[in-house]
Chains A and B, each alone.
Chain A
Amino acid sequence: QAGLTQPPSVSKDLRQTATLTCAGNSNNVGYRGAAWLQRHQGHPPKLLSYRNNNRPSGVSERFSASRSGNTASLTITGLQPEDEADYYCSAWDRGLNAWVFGGGTKLTVL
């Protein structure tokens, strides 16, 4: 069951910019921000950012995250074929005392 809301799919052209959104509430995204994960089929998810725009070592600067109120966003610039994947947002929910996820967005690079 998804606690956060993500659009099911986004399609963008090669080398363009994609912005993925994640809507929550004041108990989760609005509380401590969101983390973003990328999943390629057949592989475990990869952490792209946490607490809105902290990138783990090795993650490309083409990935940047932000938050406005209770909505988090992930912007991917200069889209590459390898960016085609499923993207999930997640946030700690202080009301549930649990991590909640969005349903995921499938990004297609045309």
Chain B
Amino acid sequence: QVQLQESGPGLVKPSETLSLTCTVSDYSITNDYYWGWIRQPPGKGLEWIGSILHNGHTYYNPSLKSRVTISLDTSKNQFSLKLTSVTAADTALYHCVRDASSAPADYWGQGTLVTVSS
């Protein structure tokens, strides 16, 4: 059973960079599958942020692409999200996921709430 766990600050100031890490257990991220991030702002729907493959290939939501970087740390079986120049609109529950290619995610972390506020 693949397990994912998000970690990172729950509060980020406007204009700063949001940084989250996802630790994957019981499955190597160097195997097949992309690994990604999906968020849900309070009271709104799901939004796909982007995904990364074990070889480093990434693809991002075009609406966020200029601000997003997803990277891998295979030695720790982790992957990370960086979102720059955040605003209140980036306040959301952030989930790390295994991107199943036939679906945006088949395994999900519990999610971590990130609030953008001064």
Indicate which residue in B44, B62, B102 contacts A35 across the interface (CB closer than 8 Å): B102
- The residues of B that contact A46 with a CB separation of less than 8 Å are 108
Of A32, A50, A54, A103, which contacts B45 at CB under 8 A?
A103
Interface string of A16-49 (1 = CB under 8 A from B): 0000000000000000100101000000111100
A44 touching B59 by the CB < 8 A rule? Answer: no
A37 to B38, CA, bound (A): 13
Q: In the docked arrangement, what's the CA distance between A46 and B103, Å?
A: 11
Interchain CB contact under 8 A, A44 and B110: yes
Residue numbers in A under 8 Å from B73 (CB-CB) = none
- Chain B nearest CB, measured from A52 CB (Å): 10
CA of A88 to CA of B44, assembled, Å: 11
Contact B45 A88 (CB under 8 A): yes
Interface size class of A (residues with CB under 8 A): 20 to 34
- Is B2 in the interface zone, CB < 8 Å from A? no
Residue among B44, B105, B109 with max Cβ neighbours from chain A (10 Å): B105
- For residue B29, give the distance in angstroms from its CB to the closest CB of chain A: 18
A-contact bits for B62-88, CB 8 A (1 contact / 0 none): 110000000000000000000000000
Contact residues of B with A, CB < 8 Å? 44-48, 59-63, 95, 99-100, 102-106, 108-111
Sampled A-B contacts (24; CB under 8 Å): A1-B47, A35-B104, A37-B46, A37-B105, A44-B108, A44-B110, A45-B46, A45-B95, A45-B108, A46-B108, A47-B105, A47-B106, A50-B100, A50-B103, A50-B106, A90-B48, A90-B104, A97-B62, A98-B62, A99-B61, A99-B99, A101-B104, A102-B45, A104-B46
